[in-house]
Amino acid sequence: MKRIITGGTVVTASDTFAADVLIEDAKITGLLLPGTGPKDAEAIDAKGCYVIPGGIDVHTHLDMPFGGTNSIDDFESGTVAAAFGGTTTLVDFAIQAKGTSMKQALDTWHAKAEGRTMVDYGFHMIATDLAPQYLSEMADIVREGVTSFKLFMAYPGVLLLDDQSIFRGMLRAGEIGATICMHAETGLPIDVLVERALAAGHTAPIYHALTRPEVAEATGTERAIALAEMANVPVYIVHLSAQRALERVMEARDRGLPAFAETCPQYLFLSEDDLRGTAEDPFEGAKYVCTPPLRPAHHHDHLWRGLRNYDLQVVATDHCPFCMKGQKELGKDSFAKIPNGMPGVETRLHLLYEGVRQGHIGLNRFVEISSTAPAKIFGMYPKKGTIAVGSDADIVVWDPNKQFELSHKNLHMKADYAAYEGKVVTGAPKTVLSRGETVIADTTKLVGKKGRGKFLRRGGLGV
């Protein structure tokens, strides 16, 4: 199969240039002067469009048991939604259940995903039990192509690990060339604040934010980085939401440590005010309960500056969707019982491109934070994350003038609400290719075959 993307402007993390992109089977085989490609290749029109590498979302939770229910998108609906949004690779989280092996968790997550995904996917491993028999399994997990482990400093009794276990896990990860992803919030005092709020009768969603202060994230981030420094392991802070945590990452990077951080669109575009819901119904705020919580809007500028200045490396989604009906409403009487998480896998590129249009980041940086940097950090580059000869033909033809409303009626994520209902953005995927096959055509047509996505064995840190 020979195809050629013609008439567009190729944008990578480093360059912007006019070229036609030749694709043979699943790979990019040429970047050609416009109009000079083989005549027998099937043409894909990109006139007036940018040709960018497919998005890579390294933080999703599909079909994940959490808060007494399961995230509502499974590997089928979640990867279809990703494709509509121009994301062609996901890295999801397998979860080790306490007292059971990581191998068992990996088998369970493979069974959830295999034969169901529209785009390629990999896994991180959430370690919840680092007893000696499980610590010694970590090298086997890395050999399976799962080269990063997420550890939690929050959610006591569920996912939280004590510092000694975290440190043992970090030491082992350092020895075997793996990366530690950290949920960096100091979780035990947070639970005391939650207890006190509930005892005082404060049950509404806004108390989710008021009981998880910024300082809890800042101390968690500092502690995660300090432990990683002692263990000599790269650390990647997931879903960073606030200025003080960012400053801890900046200090570490200034000292030359291999510390990385991602933020998410919800921390750039939404705020604590959304958690207040409406005057008629404060519980509407449950739509926006995620952890760390949405912060006051003045944090947005700090996060955009962090992205611009390379203090933050990645924007991922933390896509963890729950319906209001039957799921979020489990917390009607207590904000602490609202399942944590928001839908987002489909709208990440649209929102980040708004950041380009508003002057927060440049076009090349847009590509870098949404595709190239996550590919490098998580061992997928240059197979994924760029437009270069030999790379997988995971490509988005991005129409910079297309108006698109981020409303529930236009989206494919299964949550029964949209986090940005009514927001109209300019710029959307026109055509989405995964390994050379068109999966989305004309922005709204799903043409990829169900189950065509492949598991991706990842390598180590590549920056």
**Binding stretches for Zn ion (CB under 5 A):** 183, 318
- 212 touches ligand URP (CB under 6 A): no
Residue pair 334/314 in contact (Cβ under 8 Å)? The answer is no
Nearest-CB residue for ligand URP: 340
- The pattern of x and - marking residues 369 through 408 that bind ligand URP according to CB under 6 A reads ----------------------------------------
CB under 8 Å to 260, separation ≥6 — which residues?
A: 234, 235, 236, 237, 249, 313, 314, 377, 463
- 117 touches ligand URP (CB under 6 A): no
> What is the closest distance, in whole angstroms, from the C-beta atom of residue 383 to ligand URP in the complex?
26
- 89 touches ligand URP (CB under 6 A): no
Residue 52 burial class via C-beta count within 10 angstroms: exposed 0-12, middle 13-18, buried 19 and up: buried
CA distance 422 to 26: 37
> What is the closest distance, in whole angstroms, from the C-beta atom of residue 24 to ligand URP in the complex?
39
- 340 touches ligand URP (CB under 6 A): yes
Q: Which does 19 bind (CB under 5 to 8 A by kind): Zn ion, ligand URP, none?
A: none
Other CB atoms within 10 A of residue 280 CB: 7
Q: Which does 185 bind (CB under 5 to 8 A by kind): ligand URP, Zn ion, none?
A: none
| 2 three-state secondary structure | strand
Give the pair of three-digit tokens for residue 257. Answer: 């440590």
Q: Which does 21 bind (CB under 5 to 8 A by kind): Zn ion, ligand URP, none?
A: none
> What is the closest distance, in whole angstroms, from the C-beta atom of residue 449 to ligand URP in the complex?
30
Residue pair 183/249 in contact (Cβ under 8 Å)? The answer is no
CA distance 81 to 59: 14
> What is the closest distance, in whole angstroms, from the C-beta atom of residue 384 to ligand URP in the complex?
22
**Chain centre distance of CA 263:** 9
> What is the closest distance, in whole angstroms, from the C-beta atom of residue 318 to Zn ion in the complex?
4
> What is the closest distance, in whole angstroms, from the C-beta atom of residue 11 to Zn ion in the complex?
28
CA distance 82 to 241: 22
- 290 touches ligand URP (CB under 6 A): yes
Peptide bond into 321 cis (omega under 30): no
> What is the closest distance, in whole angstroms, from the C-beta atom of residue 48 to ligand URP in the complex?
37
Q: Which does 148 bind (CB under 5 to 8 A by kind): ligand URP, Zn ion, none?
A: none
> What is the closest distance, in whole angstroms, from the C-beta atom of residue 181 to ligand URP in the complex?
10
Applying CB under 6 A, among 10, 55, 61, 166 the residue interacting with ligand URP is 61
Strands 259-263 and 314-315: parallel
| 227 three-state secondary structure | helix
Measured at the CA of 335, the angle between CA 330 and CA 338, to 5 degrees, comes to: 40
Beta bridge partners of 103: none
| 183 three-state secondary structure | strand
Applying CB under 6 A, among 306, 341, 355, 429 the residue interacting with ligand URP is 341
Q: Which does 341 bind (CB under 5 to 8 A by kind): ligand URP, Zn ion, none?
A: ligand URP
Size of the site for ligand URP (CB under 6 A): 9
Give the pair of three-digit tokens for residue 302. Answer: 């700090």
Single-letter residue type at 141: I
Nearest-CB residue for Zn ion: 183
- 315 touches ligand URP (CB under 6 A): no
Positions in the binding site for ligand URP (CB under 6 A): 61, 183, 239, 290-291, 318, 320, 340-341
